[in-house]
Amino acid sequence: MGSMPAPLRSDAWYAGQDRNSYIHRAWMRRGAPDSAFDGRPQIAIANTASDLTPCNMHLSEVARSVANGVWEAGGVPLELPVVSLGETQVRPTAMLWRNMAAMAIEEMIRANPIDGVVLLGGCDKTIPSLLMGAASVDLPALVVPGGPMLTGTFRGAPLGCGTDVWRLSEEVRAGTLSNRDFQASQSAMIRSKGHCNTMGTASTMGLLAEVLGTTLPGTAGLPAPDSRLQERAHESGRLAVEMVREGRRPSQIISKASFHNAIVALGALGGSTNAVVHLLAIAGRLGVPLTLDEIDRAGHGIPLLVDLQPAGRHLMEDFHRAGGLTAVLREISDLLDLDALTVTGRPLGDYLEDGAIHDTEVIRPRSEPMMADAGIAVLRGDLAPDGAIIKPAAATAELLQHRGRAVVFDSVEDLHHRIDDPALDVDADSVLVLRGCGPRGYPGMPEVANLPLPRKLLQQGVRDMVRVCDGRMSGTAYGTVVLHVSPEGAAGGPLAKVRDGDPIVLDVEGRRIDVDVPAAEFAAREPAPAMVAALARPTRGWEKLYVDTVRGAETGADLDFLVGGSGDRVPRDSH
Ligand code: FES
Ligand code: MG
């Protein structure tokens, strides 16, 4: 048999001796040797490093290690800066830009002379947008998650990113913590490079990228400053070259089984509710059918094994020390599809044998879960015909079955204006309803569903109430919060018809969220005028495209024309 190397996609740019290949090669001569274009895999390193995405600032260091690995394996590394989203910095919400980032990443991967791509992400939306874009191109691709920051401490106690901001700010409002002490904790919270160190969205999506099979196993959860992350980055570079040589593409790796595993792991980790919209969107790009009902079924009866904030106490550095993802997956291996493939070409099950729990305070054995049934629950009912979700692990057990009078807010501004009004007609049993916060209404579906509690109730010692919202909540947040209510209020969902005083009935076990108003009366109601006015009507730019084409949260809030993929083919040359 001949040993002709398989043709590379990049040959279409660089091979041959004609004018166009001359141009493609000539402009790349900035130190690259002749051999760079003699049939070596060209590996893009899609880098979300940015000074305005502080959680990803260190990714250029990670990129250097990836590049070394690519060279070592006989490939050519090419850094490709891509759209980056700093969760805490961009307005009105990073989620408005997730699909824009995914679209830009997709097009730049496709347009360039590359054969494979290493995806460097960290902060919340970056890994989802990278995976969405890469899935729609379907070139060999793997993720290197940038990893969480180390644990910061304040006055001798650990401080968790995000979660403790929510907790401490409520203490200030309750009058049990001075604002001066609260402000002083600020510089202690962010101890090192890396993303949030709670089991927030960044940690969750890094870990789920590994469960989906898209990282070198054993990489996700390594703290950002850990030298082993650089080592894994180097090996990931080598693996990218191998993946190109073997033609191993996302569509061959990420299957229905991979999503099943991700949903099971999400429950056991106590991961972010945001994972639901991101997994649905990634599945949509790959053409893998995935519904909210399947997410509910897969999450049913999944024990919470990880005692991390926001559902518990510890932080990602503890999680890593305690055995990390592999230890958790091994503990629930009977619930996983162990044949699901990974980027190495070997199944996930091959990597779980060495998993071991080193600290049962942080990662519980299966026999002693934090909670027996912790998977994300999908609710339906009068208020959410297309679905809503709740994270039981972050909720108060006694509130999972609840009936209370609605106190309705038409916008975040309305909420901020009235929530602390001593005259607000609210008590501890009330259900706080916030609407106009869905993908089209805000627009962008912000993380506001964990609305603050009324100050007068905080001062009475109330620390949780049932809240219902068509927006999302931060992965670092907690509370008995029904979120992602679909259809959203501003797009004509029944949430728009709820009035102050309506009895709201939450039944998590029965998977229901209802309003106890006679059906005919409720159906005959007009949506609140404020809701009709709330539908955002931008006239130009990305916001217009977004509002005109975004789908509901129940299918992942992707743009309708971005669902699916276009492959890697570019039929025409540039000259
Ligand atoms: Fe970037 Fe939390 S703000 S991960
Ligand atoms: Mg977030």
The closest-lying atom of ligand 1 relative to the alpha carbon of residue 200 is 2
Strand-by-strand arrangement of the 76-81 sheet: 76-81, 42-47, 116-121, 141-145
Q: What is the Å distance from ligand 1's center to 105 Cα?
A: 20
Q: Which residues of the chain have pLDDT under 70?
A: 1-5
Measured in angstroms, how far is the CA atom of residue 443 from the centroid of ligand 1?
21
User: What spacing in Å lies between the alpha carbon of 307 and ligand 2's midpoint?
Assistant: 20
Please give the distance, rounded to the nearest whole angstrom, from the Cα atom of residue 262 to the centre of ligand 1.
21
CA neighbours within 13 Å on the CB side: how many for 453? 27
For residue 85, the ligand closest to its alpha carbon is 1
- 391 vs 210, 376, 388, CA distance in Å? 22, 5, 11
Q: Which residues pair with 453 in a beta bridge?
A: none
Among 343, 142, 349, 338, which residue's Cα sits nearest to residue 257? 338
C-alpha span between 320 and 140 (Å, rounded): 28
| Chain mean position to CA 507 | 26
For residues 246 and 41, give the distance between their C-alpha atoms in angstroms, rounded to a whole number.
Answer: 11
DSSP assigned state of 311: T
ipTM of the modeled complex: 0.90
Domains of the chain by residue range: 10-18+26-150+192-351, 153-189, 377-555
- Taking the CA of residue 53 as reference, the ligand 1 atom at the shortest distance is 1
> What is the atom index within ligand 1 of the atom nearest the CA of 88?
3
Atom 2 of ligand 1: nearest residue by CA position: 196
What pLDDT, on the 0 to 100 scale, is given for residue 2?
42
| Helices and strands (H and E) in the chain: how many | 21, 14
C-alpha 546, offset from chain centre: 19
Cα distance between residue 282 and residue 28, in whole Å = 33
For ligand 2, the distance from its centroid to the CA atom of residue 477, given in whole angstroms, is 9
Q: Select from 48, 125, 196, 199 the residue to mutate for testing ligand 1; criterion: most ligand atoms less than 8 Å from CB.
A: 196
What's the fold here for domain 377-555?
A: Glucose Oxidase; domain 1 (3.50.30)
Q: How far, in Å, from the CA of 62 to the mean position of ligand 1?
A: 18
Distances (CA, A) of 235 to 64, 66, 165, 215, 239: 12, 7, 36, 11, 6
Residues 6+ apart with CB under 8 A from 2: none
Which residue is it, tokens 């005919």? 520
pLDDT at position 4, please? 60
- Determine contact, residues 179/288, Cβ cutoff 8 Å: no
Ligand 1 atom closest to residue 56's alpha carbon, by position in its atom list: 1
Ligand 1 pocket test, candidate residues 48, 85, 88, most atoms within 8 A of CB: 88
DSSP state of 396: -
- Most ligand 1 atoms within 8 A of CB, residue of 55, 93, 274 to mutate: 55
Q: Based on the number of CB atoms within 10 Å of its own CB, is 447 exposed (0-12), middle (13-18) or buried (19 or more)?
A: buried
Q: Is the dihedral of CA 82, 86, 87, 89 positive or negative?
A: negative
**How close is the Cα of 53 to the center of ligand 1, in Å?**
8
Whether the CB-CB separation of 287 and 254 falls below 8 Å is answered with no
Rounded CA separation 485/378 (Å):
10
Ligand 1 atom nearest residue 122's Cα: 4
Q: Which fold has domain 10-18+26-150+192-351?
A: Rossmann fold (3.40.50)
Name the residue among 366, 376, 368 with its Cα closest to residue 298: 376
Shortest-distance atom of ligand 1 to CA 476: 2
Q: Which ligand is nearest to the CA of 195?
A: 1
Radius of gyration of the chain (CA): 24
- Find the 536 Cα to ligand 2 centroid distance in Å: 22
What three-state secondary structure class fits 437?
Answer: coil
The preferred substitution site among 53, 98, 123, 127 for testing ligand 1, maximizing ligand atoms within 8 Å of CB, is 123
Give me ligand 1 centre to Cα 184, in Å: 20
| β-pairing verdict for 401-409 and 152-154 | unpaired
d(CA 538, CA 564) in angstroms, rounded, equals: 26
Q: What CA–CA distance (Å, rounded) separates 187 from 194? A: 15
Q: Which residues line ligand 1 (CB under 6 A)?
A: 55, 87-88, 123-124, 161-162, 195-196, 200, 202
Ligand nearest to the CA of 162: 1
**What's the pLDDT tens digit per position in 239-257?**
999 999 999 999 999 999 9
The helix (run of H) or strand (run of E) holding residue 68 is helix 59-72
Going from the Cα of 123 to the center of ligand 1, the distance in angstroms, rounded, reads 5
- Our mutation pick for probing the ligand 1 site, out of 85, 97, 161, counting the most ligand atoms within 8 A of Cβ, is 161
CA distance to 87, 93, 96, 220, 276, per residue, from 101 (Å): 13, 13, 10, 22, 18
| Strand-pair category, 152-154 with 157-159 | antiparallel
Q: Tell me, in angstroms, the distance from the centre of ligand 1 to residue 197's CA.
A: 9
Distance separating alpha carbons of residues 158 and 188, to the nearest angstrom: 9
Q: Which ligand is nearest to the CA of 55?
A: 1
Cβ atoms 438, 412 nearer than 8 A: no
CB count, 10 Å around CB of 552? 22
Q: What is the pLDDT of residue 530?
A: 87
CA of 124 to the centre of ligand 2 (A): 6
Is the Cβ–Cβ distance between 310 and 394 less than 8 Å?
yes
Report the nearest atom of ligand 1 relative to the CA of 162. Answer: 2
For residue 202, the ligand 1 atom closest to its alpha carbon is 4
- The bound ligand whose nearest atom lies closest to the alpha carbon of 316 is 1
Q: Which atom of ligand 1 is nearest to the CA of 55?
A: 1
What's the DSSP call for residue 245?
A: H
Pocket residue to mutate for ligand 1, from 56, 58, 59, 124, most atoms within 8 A of Cβ: 124
Contact at 8 Å (CB) between 489 and 496?
yes
Sort 339 into a burial class: Cβ within 10 Å, 0-12 / 13-18 / 19+.
exposed
- C-alpha to C-alpha distances, 2 to 5, 6, 15, 75, 505, nearest whole angstrom: 9, 11, 20, 22, 70
- Ligand at shortest distance from the CA of 206: 1
Question: In angstroms, what is the span from residue 200 Cα to ligand 2's centroid?
Answer: 7
